[in-house]
Structure 1
């Protein structure tokens, strides 16, 4: 190989390496990207909307929208369900970075269950509530909410 060819080859190699470093430097690591679970999600039965947002070092979910006709539904203690923090203390799963582990409150029974949330490839939120181990649980599919929340927590199309 001639000296000019070697210089051109080295130059191309350096250009490719620098371009690769520049592209790599522009993409933040997965841990700094906002979690896919953030946002508003309508429940399986389309009767409620939860907003999942950071709360301290964890993620939490609050019931922000309800489909009702007369008055704001209340839990069994008489509290309005609107604004109720039902998804609590979700932390990133150390073994699966796209999943979050925490707990969920059932407002009808006041029981708290362990839960796991994640977003599947179709962009749906999966919520698995369980006792003890995830094997003994149930998974619901929630969809991104594209409607509006009106006064008194009322869902509007």
Structure 2
């Protein structure tokens, strides 16, 4: 009986670990180039990320805007405050089915994210299937 109690306790602890793990992505992250900080938040059961800091927020004295956006009506929006990660869901230890927008190119890609054992965030952006894409590593902002 004692062994069953210990087993049940360990099982309960592992489930509580899983529920905490899905929100491990929340917070501020620095992109791989160190040019931007992105704040990842949760709305309902989905995860989103907004640019909250730029190393160089201005260009030639003018606030950087989303000049490469394919929607001409959005090109005057500032890069700071831009939502670049959208609609991620947590499943099996990773955040999937989301999109990442690249303001440098104006393109949007499918994306998956995982947290590595060292605490870094692995981003995999792709078109079509994830085998055809690019990965980069983000680090948590302290």
Q: TM-score interval w.r.t. the shorter chain?
A: 0.7 to 0.9
> 1:125-144 counterparts in 2 under 5 A?
125-144=121-140
> 1:3-152 counterparts in 2 under 5 A?
14-35=1-22, 36-68=24-56, 70=58, 71-76=62-67, 77-93=75-91, 97-101=92-96, 102-146=98-142
Report SS of the residue matched to 1:17: helix
Question: Which structure would you say has the larger Rg?
Answer: 1
1:16 shift after superposition: 3.1
Structure-2 residue corresponding to 1:3: none
User: Which range is displaced more, 132-141 or 53-62?
Assistant: 53-62
Count of matched residue pairs:
130
TM-score if structure 2 supplies the norm length? 0.80
Structure-2 residue corresponding to 1:10: none
Which segments of 5 or more consecutive residues in structure 2 lack a partner in the other structure?
68-74
User: Which range is displaced more, 102-111 or 53-62?
Assistant: 102-111
Answer 1 or 2: which has greater strand percent.
2
Report SS of the residue matched to 1:142: strand
Which segments of 5 or more consecutive residues in structure 1 lack a partner in the other structure?
1-13, 147-157
Q: Pairwise CA RMSD of aligned residues?
A: 1.9
Question: How far apart, CA to CA, are the structure 2 residues paired with 1:47 and 1:134?
Answer: 25
TM-score if structure 1 supplies the norm length? 0.73
